[in-house]
Amino acid sequence: MTKKIAIANVPELTTSVGMHGSVKQKEVGGPICFAIVVAAIMAL
Amino acid sequence: MIASEALAAWLADPEAQRRSYQGVDDCVRRWSSHRLMTETERALVSLEERTPEAVLGVARAFMDRAEDLDALMAELLSSSAADPFFRPPFQPMSSDIHNAFLLYHHPDLSIGLGVSGVDMLAAKKSGPRGATSIGFTGVTTLYRYLRAGGATLSFWEAPPITEMFDSSRAGAARLVGRRRIEDGEEIVIDGRHQSFVIDHAVSDIIFFQALVRVDAAPVAAEYDSKSLSLIGASSTDETSSRVQMMVTLLRTMEREDAVPLIVEALDSPHFYTRWHIMRELLALDADAALPHLRRMAEADPHPEVRATALQTLQLFFADEPAPAGDVQCLG
């Protein structure tokens, strides 16, 4: 029988990495988070 | 909606709407085939060495074309003045303190022209604020300040973000300098270990920003402004984030027929994506995942992935016989 594992029980990495463009706190006004618009389609 | 008089008239006039859309289309047609765009594209394609420095050279050449850029701005201004419903055909980018247009976009390079409003900066600095952070973008960015706004920037560094990034060894951000910037000045920030903060400005800051994705770090890192310690990391690779979400969706839908595709995605260059996909694969089809989990525990280049894979093996497969290839040969 196929072993069933619940995803919540599988260990996670200690180094947690969020999805592209996600930030934890508000930045204080440095580089524009330009990377977030990587998918932006320029109308040109 | 309560429309202004001009908007109400425009909404009631299909011909006026057609003229507005036509104006945008004409602008798109002129500028998409303009030498400013086509020659930049050609320069990028024909680069012999695809390094951040080489791509920055293309960005500088774009910004140096003052005549073309002035013509572009003049056209946008006159079109906007002639028709309040004209929309410049460039992706707008806005934050609490910046407004910009994305003038040029390529997978390796984005160039924007923007303004940091001094009133927006003042509102941000003096308004009610929660915790703030210093962001290290993981990519190389060039800023050319057309109007520096009398701004003072503080410059920050952190340990370099590499493929072996590990939150326990991320160290702390540290202040390395603070100075006023001048009109026409250019600064290059290697977001793999450098950042800056706008401390103060006396007028609007107008700037070009060129973002180079070549040789990007795997993650962007955020450090707390007060404690200066790492508070979080996020992927710099949009594609791998999309792959992660798709694989999660496939697991949620119990699409076991997708296992071969999911196994292929285990080859991601990013440690966090490899482990994300492995977790999903284990939950979808543990038997199919097992040989890949064993290989990960043995040979994944990232130590944290190896350790977590080994822990997972011991947790769920301690009673599984080792594969024949792993039997130690005696004699």
pLDDT tens figures, B304-326: 999 999 999 999 999 887 776 55
Domain B18-228: give its CATH architecture: Sandwich (2.60)
Could you tell me the residue ranges of all domains in chain B? 18-228, 238-320
Contact B98, B114 (CB under 8 A): yes
**For residue B110, what pLDDT band results from cuts at 50, 70 and 90?**
very high
Residue B131 confidence (pLDDT): 83
Contacts A13 to B, Cβ<8 Å:
271-272, 275, 304-305, 308
Which tens digits make up the pLDDT trace of B157-166? 999 999 999 9
- Are A28 and B168 a contacting pair at CB < 8 A? no
Number of Cβ atoms within 10 Å of the Cβ of B12: 10
- Are B91 and A15 a contacting pair at CB < 8 A? no
Q: Which residue from A15, A28, A32 is facing B133, i.e. has the nearest CB?
A: A28
Longest dimension (CA), chain A: 56
Give me the phi and psi of A19, to 5 degrees please: -65, 160
Q: Is B126 on the interface with A (CB under 8 A)?
A: no
Calpha distance B34→B79 (Å, rounded): 17
pLDDT value at A40 more than 60: no
Residue A32 confidence (pLDDT): 57
- CB contacts under 8 A, A 1-44 vs B, are 2-7, 9-35, 37-44
Residue B2 confidence (pLDDT): 65
User: Which of B38, B164, B274, B279 is the best residue to mutate to test the A interface, defined by the most A CB atoms within 10 Å of its own CB?
Assistant: B279
Contact B111, B212 (CB under 8 A): no
Q: Please give, rounded to a whole number of angstroms, the shortest distance from the CA of B331 to a CA of chain A.
A: 36
Contacts B102 to A, Cβ<8 Å:
37, 40, 42
Q: What percent of chain B has pLDDT over 90?
A: 84
Which tens digits make up the pLDDT trace of B118-156? 998 888 878 777 788 999 999 999 999 999 999 999 999
**Cα distances (Å, whole numbers) of residue B185 to B6, B57, B123, B188:** 42, 16, 26, 10
Q: Please give, rounded to a whole number of angstroms, the shortest distance from the CA of B15 to a CA of chain A.
A: 22
Q: Please give, rounded to a whole number of angstroms, the shortest distance from the CA of B151 to a CA of chain A.
A: 12
Q: What is the mean pLDDT of residues A6-28?
A: 87
Calpha distance B312→B282 (Å, rounded): 10
Q: ipTM of this complex > 0.90? A: no
Tokens, residue B273: 């994506």
Q: What percent of chain B has pLDDT over 70?
A: 96
